[in-house]
Amino acid sequence: MIIFIGGIAGSGKMILAEALATDLRARLIVPKDSYGYNLIRDAHGETHARRSPFDDAEMTTINQDLARQMPHLHTMHGNLVVSGSFHRKKPRNILLEAARVLDDVTIIWIESNDEAADRRMLSLEAQGRGRFATLSSLRTAMQ
């Protein structure tokens, strides 16, 4: 079985992916994915948006590599859980086409409103799991 889990940043896709991977004894795969911007907090606590190092061409190459490996990974591990934002059409379609020839593929899309995603990001930061910017601060920084 291959399960694709997608959604916006902060939607909870990694929480679900980790739980499913554990329950199914599946291999968890997280392609390097990015929403196109990195958020940088300066010394004054202000957030600034900067273009991400992963553009469409790089994401396409990353997903082409994963697509080539997917049948082998599926044979080796049985169950796979692939988690990512999957917001870029061409890189997303590369993975979906590769999975199409394999049996038992499930796609889960997680919807989340901005407030819930913001709370999740702030909670992760409070737990010491990294520095996260909220979706509302991204929108403000990009204006």
Angle at 117 between CA 29 and CA 26, to 5 degrees: 20
Whole-angstrom distance, CA of residue 85 vs CA of residue 5 = 8
pLDDT in tens, 45-84: 555 555 555 677 878 888 888 888 888 888 888 899 998 8
Residue 92's pLDDT band (boundaries 50, 70, 90)?
Answer: confident
| Neighbouring C-alpha atoms within 13 Å toward the C-beta of 36 | 8
Helix (H) or strand (E) holding 62: helix 56-77
Which residue is associated with the tokens 């994963």? Answer: 66
Confidence (pTM): 0.68
Residues 10, 120 contacting (CB under 8 angstroms)? yes
Candidates 117, 110, 108; CA nearest to 135 is 117
Give me 50's structure tokens.
């900067």
pLDDT in tens, 23-41: 999 988 887 644 444 445 5
Which residue is associated with the tokens 């907090």? Answer: 41
